[in-house]
Amino acid sequence: MNHPKVFENRALARGYRFVGGVDEAGRGPLAGPVVSAAVILPADFDTGDIDDSKKLTPLKRNRLYDFIYSKAISVGIGIIDPIEIDRINILQASLLSMAISVDNLKPQPDYLLIDGKFTIPFDLPQQAIPKGDTLSVSIGAASIVAKVTRDRLMELYDAEYPQYGLARHKGYPTKAHKEAIRRFGASPIHRKSFKGVKQCH
């Protein structure tokens, strides 16, 4: 199925020129940053294989990541580290990382489509769309860029903290990851406020 452009087309029909889709990756992990992406796609973008990043294989995600970067009008990234996540909580950190990703778009969008129930702290007209990564092509594209960017960061962290197996589980609370935290304690990139970490540092 071609990925829907209904939200994008509706905004364009209302006179907006640059519609940005925004999504995040990494709310659930015990380690690593939360990463957001904002993507403005051209109106004639071929929606093809774009889908919620969680439904795609890593190989397909990586291919689509390159395709999105080659076709997009603009891509912006926002990253909030674990220290800030612990300080302001994961929901606020997710919304802030989304706002940063929008701020990094050049040109700036004039309308935003946000994945989830919440709008973000950014002074632009915007619409929050629950399950937006399956309902909007630009949010779907943002979900792929955010996930691939975060996965690559976790692979770099794996080289620094090899005892946790971060390249495999990307910081998510797998049995092996929780066992490694119990055994080695928390690393500097673990989220100290999260259950499963806070009792181990």
Residues 104-151 pLDDT 10s: 999 999 999 999 999 999 999 999 999 999 999 999 999 999 999 999
Q: Is the pLDDT of residue 2 over 60?
A: no
**What's the CA angle centered on 16, arms 12 and 21, to 5 degrees?**
75
Q: The whole model's pTM is what?
A: 0.96
Alpha carbon distance 179, 84 (integer Å) = 25
Place of tokens 């406020």: 193
Q: Cβ contacts of residue 88 below 8 Å, gap of 6+?
A: 96
Cα 125 from Cα 75, distance rounded (Å) = 19
Please give the pLDDT value at position 1. Answer: 41
- Residue range 144-188, pLDDT digits in tens: 999 999 999 999 999 999 999 999 999 999 999 999 999 999 999
Domains annotated for the chain, with CATH where assigned, are 6-161 (3.30.420.10)
State how beta strands 19-25 and 111-115 pair. Answer: parallel
Residue (of 156, 142, 151, 6) closest to 64 by Cα position: 142
Q: How far apart are CA 167 and CA 69, in angstroms?
A: 23
Q: How many CB atoms lie within 10 A of CB 12?
A: 15
Neighbouring residues of 44: CB distance < 8 A, sequence distance ≥ 6: none
Q: Give yes or no for residue 27 having a pLDDT over 60.
A: yes
| pLDDT higher than threshold 50 for residue 62 | yes
The b-or-e profile of 51-82 (16+ CB within 10 A means b, else e) is bbbeebeeeebeebbebbeeebbbbbbbbbbb
d(CA 190, CA 43): 40
Q: 58-71 vs 137-160: helix axis angle to the nearest 10?
A: 120
The pLDDT-based confidence of 25 (bands split at 50, 70, 90) is very high
The pLDDT score that the predictor gives to residue 3 is: 57
Rounded Cα distance, 97 and 80, in Å: 6
